[in-house]
Structures are given as C-alpha cells and as structure tokens.
Amino acid sequence: MASIKDVAERALVSIATVSRYYRGTAKVSSETAEKIKKAALELNCTPDFFASSLKCSHSNQICLLIDGIRNLFFNAMTENLEKAFQAYNYHLMLMLTYGNTDILKRHIQNSLSMRASAFLYVPNSNMAECYNEILKSDTYALQLFLDIDKDVDSVT
C-alpha cells in the first residue's frame, strides 16, 4: 500500500505538504492540490486518519450519540451536522445507543480510543454515569436540547 511519502515523491512535493492537504489544516495551492490528488489516485493511496490522530491529540471525528433514528428531527439534524462538519474537514460518526447503557459505554470507549475531537449527545439522567467518562477525558462535549449537566456546554 502506498504511503504519503510515495504520494509526495510522485507529486514532487514535501511529505508535510501532502499531510497538510489531507488534514485540510493549511492552504495548499490549487495546482499543488491537483498534483497530490492525481498522485494519490495513481497510487491508490488514501489517508490513514487513525495514524494521523496518533501524532496529535485528536482525530477529525465528531461522535453523535443518540438513541435511534426513527425521529425525523434527528434525521434532519444529523444530515445538517454532517454537511456542516464536512465543510471543516471533520467526519460525523453516528452512534446509536438504543437507550442501552452497555452500548453507550462501548461507543464512548471506542471513540475515546480513536481520539475523537468531540461528543455531541442528548443527555439522559439514567445514563449520567456513562457521560462522566466523556467528562473525565479532555474531549469536548456538547449536550443537545437538554441542560442536565451544568458543567457541560449545551445547545437548546
């Protein structure tokens, strides 16, 4: 499998430039971006976002924890969040909990191990112990619609 080093060599740019292009953290000229894109396609190279999250303290993953998707409001909200985050090179990871604390705990642990950048969730007082795992980490948390925990930012 090709690496960003191979892409950089093929595109005649530095590895740092390829990295910046993939992360979207800095401006890369349209000409350079096109060379990198072409080289990556030729080499069938895709960025390893997990590997890049090891270098920094977070990934570009935003975790959305909700009970389910039967509610049309949540469907629309999820779609709009996804579009908004894509504009900033973040990826929305939808995690369905079905009101089950074991599933919620597993999702939180997996997301923390992947160094998620943030958690968005609709708080439930029955699951407060699970959300405390998020609050113990240095990962940003945002409550949606309810203001149960006064120590966490919320949008209502």
Tell me the pLDDT tens digit for each residue of 55-101. 555 578 888 888 887 878 888 888 888 998 888 778 888 888 888 88
- Rounded (5°) CA angle 11-23-29: 50
Length of the chain equals 156
Q: Are 10 and 39 in contact (CB under 8 A)?
A: yes
In this prediction, residue 47 carries a pLDDT of: 66
Task: Specify the pTM.
Answer: 0.63
In this prediction, residue 51 carries a pLDDT of: 57
Question: For residue 153, is pLDDT > 80?
Answer: no
Distance separating alpha carbons of residues 40 and 76, to the nearest angstrom: 34
Question: For residue 148, is pLDDT > 70?
Answer: yes
In this prediction, residue 57 carries a pLDDT of: 56
Cβ within 8 Å of residue 128, ≥6 positions away: 148, 149
From 146, 119, 114, 109, select the one nearest 65 (Cα to Cα): 119
